[in-house]
Amino acid sequence: MNDRPMSRNMTRRQFLARSGALGAVGISLPALLAACGGSDSAGGAASTTVSFDNWPLYIDPTEDSALGTVDRFAEATGITMNYTEGYNDNNEYFAKIQPLLGNGKTIEADIIAPTFWMAGRLISLGWAEKLPLADIPNMANITDGFVNPPWDPTGEYSMPWQAGMAGIAYNIDVTGRELNSVEELFNPEFKGKIGMLTEMRDTIGLIAMGLGIDPSTIASFDDAAPAFEKLAKAKADGQIRQFTGNDYTDDLVSGNFAACIGWSGDVLQLGKDSPNIRFVIPEEGGTRWADVMMLPKGVKNSANAAKWMNFCFDPVQAALITQYVQYLSPVKGVREELAKINPELADNQLLFPDDATSARLRAFATLTEDVEAKFDEEFSAITGA
Amino acid sequence: MRKRSKVARWALNIFAGMGLLYLFTPIIFIVAFSFNKPKGNFNIAWQEFTLENWMHPFAEKSLTHALRVSLEIAAVSTIISTVLGSLIAIALSRYKFRGSGGINIFLILPLTTPEIVLGSSLATLFLGQNFIEFGFTTIVIAHIMFQVSFVALTVRARIRGFDWTLEQAAQDLGASPMRTFMKVTLPLILPGILAASLLAFALSIDDFIITFFNSGNVVTFPLQIYGAARVRIPPQINVLASMILFLSVAVLLSGTIAGMRKEAAKTSAAKPKRHSLTKSG
Amino acid sequence: MTTAVTASRRISTNADRVGLGAMLVAAVCLIALGARWVSGPAASVLLLVLALVLIGVLVLALRGGPEARRLLAPYGLLKPGMLWLALFFLAPVWSLLRISLSTKPSRFSVDYNFTWAFENYSNAFKDFGTQFQHAFVYAAIATVLTVLIGYPLAYVIAFRGGRYKNILLGMVVIPFFTSYLIRTIAWSTILADRGFVVRTFDAVGLVQVLEWLHIMDNGKLLNTPAAVIGGLTYNFLPFMLLPIYVSLEKIDTNLVDAAGDLYSSAARAFRKVVLPLSVPGVFAGTLLTFIPAAGDFVNAQFLGNPNTTMIGNSIQDQFLKQNNYPVASAMSAVLMFSIASLVLIYTKIFGTEDLA
């Protein structure tokens, strides 16, 4: 008898509660299984660990028979590396560490992997720790172009991790033909099927090259204004489908993008499984960049970090990393090592550009703080977020 | 005329069927692709059938770790919010007091504020102070914040109509207030509290926007998926999602069957239940 | 002596006022402390006041006799939760408003100077007006769509579900046990240019029609306004469907039968009886759908394009990427107040008691 009136009174919340109950029970079981399944490699005294927060898919993993670099490092030195892939976007990462480093605290990671311009910013803010260079004898293997680079003029704060170039990536199944010009990104034929990067220096840099502006000489906003205008117009016209970070590869492979601005190594990696994906340094030229290894201010395991950097600058190790990530290695002797294990890659222009190719690449100029602020503001106004 | 209404009737049923299909479209997709053997990093194009992913559902270490973090956060925040929220609900339904109207309205406020406002405002509170760093603690605090209202309102709805004079009766018989609560009140309101805490748990596990603003370096399950979506969508994501789904179906079915059985038992025995409160759907 | 006794009795009989007052004072102290409204010695004083108030109420409860205890009890039960909300819901809103009127001394500074910087608000409107517009328009369309889809579905389940009612209801809820993000990402794959849906539309010649209707654009369905609205509709559908179902389920079927006899047509019976009784459900569902949809950024990010960004995307970008907390806070504040006023107006017009 009592049941009827009660059910009439059932409210929306009871409902949510009931459905919630189902959901929670449903969720908890796999979770329990998960808790049993995983095993953490944490533990050990502080002096035998080091952590590296890197970009995703940026190191060779341990697969079947072959050990990845992280595991080879542990085997060689006895140091456990806590390797994470939390570096997804320079601005996003900066926003995360800013409240800590800006307040004089340190962050969890011992090594981080900012792109060159972000490295310059961290150094000038005083948020980076000097490297114990004496403990990194393999320093001597840094290729000439990366000795005392513009973002770290004294070379005391950073070691390059990988370098690469930005150019045009395209899906030939969609375009139906080879592309060779920045102009193609603005071709109405591909309306709504073009991707651009949220990384301002690559997107604006490449468009500038297309307009005949050398991004390495840009000093004020006016210098780059035509590139911004061109981008803004393309966005308003619906030419651009999305501004993306690393995720452009997804849209490229699935055919949502006909063409986009992309990074050389990504596209080479993709090419293994999807031969219809191509990468070209356009005739107007491409941009060059580097991601670096750096110690945040107050770093805990500086000595172990030095051991890691030293390990990575051994050409034998570096060649194995290069074989997987397929970016430009900043380590001398990698080409020779790679020739032994993968001769085809050792001859690839996108990994080891010859002088003629290198001459067509430009790195974005270092911007002063005020100018950079203006660039970022204008760029984020266009990306529309 | 009968004929026309029959047509209308069927049209409506078909529309409802299409509605259900719409609801299930992505679900079918998610389950199907948990059996896919993807080429490359993105599990987005159908390649070939495999059971491999289901054999190794926890092969993705970072994904499994993130799931564990989410469970820990959900467990801690649910326990605290259930206590806080239930106390509020008991106060609201047990007593008539000055200010209860205001409290009622105040409780709804967090639910009528967009998540992005809750998340960003909480982040401004944590920014630039030196007591707590962004991370596990801030996520737990954030989750409790939105769970409390949900728990309070859910429990209050469930215990509406509870006969509080039972407490009086127990105390007249000599039970201490503590004993009364433990032996009389709690067992009766417990189903409502449990339901509310399960809801709170589910809300915590799936929360993305508020967590996104207050997570620091900690990566929860939704945050891991968000990060993965940019570089790599492993089929294990689909496997874990499908597992959750299948278990939900199992729970729902068993609940329905139990309900039907109870219904049958009740009609045959025709015995009045002791308390309407113990009824569950 | 006697005056002391009457005084203490007066306090006892007015214990509820004391309890409520103590709770409010404690809440105000926590808000002020949490939002760093006060600092230095003033903060210590406030902390002291907070402690004294809490101790005072405790003393009153312990020594005030059963009547005082009974009057104080609800506030004692409320206090932990309410103070939590004061510190982590109200204080944040306060600090959000403060930062929205602040300026940063330098671009990468972590400090703020409160300067009544109203230009943050004018900048927010000037630079992000379109995003506000998108948020409200998309959320409104999605809300209407959830009613159109959710109502018939709820109706069929409630009145024609019979013994399968619970199973049907479960089927409606089950899809939402998979993660919000996974569902949205799944849609982005389903709607892709070479995905199943677009290919089917292409095969049956629907593409031209849909392009004419501006639902598809240049052969694509993904990364269009329609996809964003579709995603919002999908993700928030249960928030509409469940309240409608609850209000429909409460309706006595005998009443509907009687109405069927009374009015000549089923449609008329529906309009005169069922519809009015389900209004509270639609009302609650509208709020529960519109509010989260207007603040969402996930759908616009995964399913939209650079010209469909919503205010949630802007807040997220300014806050978590550009470190522009003042403008991000100003946008958050505007969103909060505009939604609050919309809710108020809406409640005034269609208001019912059945919100909670």
pLDDT in tens, A287-298: 999 999 999 999
User: CA nearest A241: which of C195, C308, C310, C305?
Assistant: C305
Name the one residue in this structure whose structure tokens are 């898919």: A57
Q: Which CATH code is given to the segment(s) B61-233?
A: 1.10.3720.10
* Least confident range of A315-329, B247-261, C18-32, C271-285: B247-261
The predicted model gives B12-24 an average pLDDT of 91
Statement: residue B72 has pLDDT above 80 = yes
Is the Cβ of B64 closer than 8 Å to some Cβ of chain A?
yes
Residue contact B44–A250, C-beta within 8 A? yes
On whether the CB atoms of residues A113 and A94 are closer than 8 A, the answer is: no
Token look-up 């849909």 returns: C210
- % of chain C beyond a pLDDT of 90: 53
Residue C124 C-alpha from the chain's centroid: 22
A293-329 in b/e burial notation, b at 16+ Cβ within 10 A? bbbbbebbbbebbbbbbbbbbbbebbbbbbbbbbbbb
Domain coordinates of chain C in residue numbers?
2-100, 119-350
Quick one: pLDDT band at residue A39, thresholds 50, 70, 90? very low
Q: Is B279's pLDDT higher than 60?
A: no
pLDDT (0 to 100) of residue B3: 58
pLDDT per residue as tens digits for the range A81-125: 999 888 988 999 999 899 889 888 899 999 999 999 999 999 999
Select the residue of A13, A96, A256 nearest C192 (Cβ to Cβ).
Answer: A256
- Topology (CATH level 3) of domain A46-163+289-350: D-Maltodextrin-Binding Protein; domain 2 (3.40.190)
Selection from C56, C138, C177 nearest residue C305 by Cα? C138
Residue whose structure tokens are 């459900």: C281
Lowest mean pLDDT among B239-253, C299-313, C316-330: B239-253
The CATH 3.40.190.10 domain(s) of chain A lie at: 46-163+289-350, 166-288+365-383
B243 CB within 8 Å of a chain C CB: no
3-state secondary structure chain B: CHHHHHHHHHHHHHHHHHHHHHHHHHHHHHHHHCCECCCCCECCCCCCECCHHHHCCCCCHHHHHHHHHHHHHHHHHHHHHHHHHHHHHHHHHHCCCCCHHHHHHHHHHHHHCCHHHHHHHHHHHHCCCCCCCCCHHHHHHHHHHHHHHHHHHHHHHHHCCCCCHHHHHHHHCCCCHHHHHHHHHHHHHHHHHHHHHHHHHHHHHHCCHHHHHHCCCCCCHHHHHHHHHHHCECHHHHHHHHHHHHHHHHHHHHHHHHHHHHHHHHHHHCCCCCCHHHCCC
- B186 to each of A156, B131, B181, B182, how far by Cα in Å? 65, 36, 6, 5
- Residue C51: the pLDDT is 93
pLDDT band of A320, cuts 50, 70, 90: very high
User: Measuring CA to CA, how many Å separate B38 from each of A303, B46, B48, B221?
Assistant: 41, 7, 8, 22
**What is the pTM assigned to this prediction?**
0.88
* pLDDT on residue B2: 52
Residues in chain B: 281
In angstroms and rounded to an integer, the radius of gyration of the C-alpha atoms of chain B is 24
Taking all residues of chain B, what is their mean pLDDT, rounded to a whole number?
84
Interface test with B, best of C178, C261, C271 (most B CBs within 10 A): C178
DSSP per residue, C171-184:
HHHGGGGS-HHHHH
Q: At what angle do helices A221-236 and A369-383 cross, to 10 degrees?
A: 10
A141 DSSP assignment:
G
Q: Domain segments of chain B: what residues?
A: 2-52, 61-233
Q: 3-class DSSP state for residue A160?
A: strand
CB contact under 8 A, C246 and A12: yes
Task: Determine the residue type at C167.
Answer: I
pLDDT band at residue A40 using 50, 70 and 90 as cut-offs: very low
Inform me whether the pLDDT recorded for A35 exceeds 80.
no
Exposure string of A223-237, with b = 16+ CB inside 10 Å and e = fewer, is: bbeebbebbeebbee
Residue A44 binned pLDDT confidence (cut-offs 50, 70, 90): very low
CB-CB: which of B130, B199, B240 is closest to A16? B199
Alpha helices in chain C (DSSP H): 2-13, 15-34, 41-63, 65-85, 91-100, 119-160, 165-173, 180-190, 196-203, 206-212, 225-249, 253-262, 266-269, 275-294, 298-303, 311-320, 325-350
pLDDT at A253 over 60: yes
What pairing do the DSSP bridges indicate for beta strands C113-114 and C102-103?
A: antiparallel
Instruction: Indicate yes or no: CB of B30 within 8 angstroms of CB of C183.
Output: yes
Distance CA A19, CA A235 (A): 43
Q: What is the mean pLDDT of chain A?
A: 87
Residue A126 neighbours by CB distance under 10 Å:
9
What confidence score (pLDDT) does residue B277 get?
A: 38
Please say if the pLDDT value at position C326 is more than 80: yes
pLDDT of residue A20: 40
- What is the share, in percent, of chain A residues with pLDDT greater than 90? 72
Q: Which of residues 200-219 of B touch A (CB under 8 A)?
A: 200-203, 205, 216-217, 219
State percent of chain C over pLDDT 70: 96
β-strands A49-53, A80-84: how paired?
A: parallel
Say if the Cβ atoms of A95 and C243 lie within 8 Å. Answer: no
Q: Which amino acid is located at C325 in the chain?
A: Y
pLDDT at B281: 33
Looking at per-residue pLDDT, the higher value among C342 and C144 belongs to C144
- How sure is the predictor about A50, in pLDDT bands with cuts at 50, 70 and 90? very high
Whether pLDDT at A21 is above 90: no
Could you tell me which CATH number the domain at C119-350 has? 1.10.3720.10
Q: What is the pLDDT of residue B259?
A: 66
Q: What is the mean pLDDT of residues B218-238?
A: 85
Domain A166-288+365-383 matching CATH 3.40.190.10: the answer reads: yes
pLDDT at A38 over 70: no
Which position has the higher pLDDT, C259 or C164? C164
* 150-179 of B, contacting A, C-beta below 8 A: 150, 153-154, 157-158, 160-161
For the stretch C184-212, pLDDT in tens is 999 998 999 988 889 889 889 888 889 88
Q: Identify any residues that bridge with A166 across adjacent strands, giving them in sequence order.
A: A263, A287
C260 CB burial (10 A radius; 0-12, 13-18, 19+): middle
Could you give the angle at which helices C41-63 and C65-85 cross, rounded to 10 degrees? 150
**What's the rounded mean pLDDT across residues C66-89?**
91
Strands (E), chain A: 49-53, 80-84, 111-112, 128-129, 158-171, 194-197, 240-244, 259-263, 277-280, 286-296, 361-363
Span C151-157, average pLDDT: 94
pLDDT digits over A126-185, tens only? 999 999 999 999 999 999 989 999 999 999 999 999 999 999 999 999 999 999 999 999
* CA angle centred on C193, ends C189 and C195, rounded to 5°: 50
Residue with the two structure tokens 């089950």: C174
pLDDT surpasses 60 at B162:
yes
Pick the more confident residue, C264 or A32: C264
Joined together, the tokens standing for residue C188 give: 């982005």
CA dist C202 and C216 (Å) reads 11
**Subunits with at least 3 CB pairs below 8 A relative to chain B?**
A, C
In three-state secondary structure terms, A149 is coil
The Cα–Cα gap between B115 and A81 comes to: 37
pLDDT of residue C352: 53
Query: Per the CB < 8 Å rule, is B198 touching A100?
Result: no
CA distances to A91, A205, A293, A376, C311 from A199, rounded to whole Å, are: 9, 10, 19, 10, 21
Min Cα–Cα distance to chain A from B15, Å: 24
| A276 and chain C in contact, CB less than 8 A | no
Q: Does an H or E element contain C114, and which?
A: strand C113-114
Q: Which residues contact A171 (CB under 8 A, 6 or more apart)?
A: A252, A253, A255, A257, A258, A259, A276, A277, A278
Does residue B276 carry a pLDDT above 80?
Answer: no
pLDDT (0 to 100) of residue B267: 62
Name the pLDDT band for A300 (thresholds 50, 70, 90): very high
Element spanning A200, H or E: helix A200-210
- DSSP of A312-366, one letter per residue? HTSHHHHHHHHHHH-SB--BTTHHHHHHHH-HHHHT-TTTS--HHHHTTEEEPPP
Provide ipTM, 2 decimals.
0.91
The pLDDT of residue B261 is above 80: no
Return d(Cα C37, Cα C56) in angstroms, integer: 25
Asked if pLDDT for residue C293 goes beyond 90, the answer is yes
Write the Ramachandran bin of A99: left for phi over 0, alpha for psi from -120 to 50, otherwise beta: alpha
* pLDDT of B4 higher than 80: no
Range with lowest mean pLDDT among B55-59, B61-65, B106-110, B227-231: B227-231
- A296 within 8 A of A97, measured Cβ to Cβ: yes
The residues, ordered by sequence, that sit 6+ positions from B123 with a Cβ below 8 Å of its Cβ are: B134, B213, B214, C319
The pLDDT value given to residue C107: 86
Q: Residue B141: which of B55, B239, B216, B253 has the closest Cα?
A: B216
Q: pLDDT (tens digit, 9 = 90+) per residue, A148-158? A: 999 999 999 99
Q: What are B27-70's pLDDT values in tens digits?
A: 999 999 889 888 777 777 777 888 888 888 888 888 889 989 99
Instruction: State the average pLDDT for chain C.
Output: 88
Q: Which two tokens stand for residue B177?
A: 């207030």
Residue A9 corresponds to which tokens in the numbers above? Answer: 């009174």
Contact (Cβ atoms closer than 8 angstroms) between residue C346 and residue C116: no
Please choose, from the candidates C341, C80, A120, A250, the residue with its C-alpha nearest in 3D space to the C-alpha of residue B84.
C80
**Radius of gyration of chain C, Cα coordinates, nearest whole angstrom:** 27
Q: What is the pLDDT of residue B269?
A: 56
CB contact under 8 A, A376 and C322: yes
Q: How far apart are CA B31 and CA C183, in angstroms?
A: 11
C81 part of contact set with chain A, CB < 8 Å: no
User: In chain B, what percentage of residues exceed pLDDT 70?
Assistant: 88
Query: Virtual CA dihedral for C330, C335, C340, C345, nearest 10 degrees?
Result: 120
Q: Return the SS3 of A53.
A: strand
CA dihedral defined by B151, B157, B161, B164, rounded to 10 degrees?
20
pLDDT value, residue C351:
61
Most confident of A315-324, B91-100, B156-165, C107-116: A315-324
Residue A59 clears pLDDT 50, i.e. is over it:
yes
Measured in angstroms, the CA of A27 and the nearest CA of chain B are apart by 5
Q: Above 80 in pLDDT, residue A1?
A: no
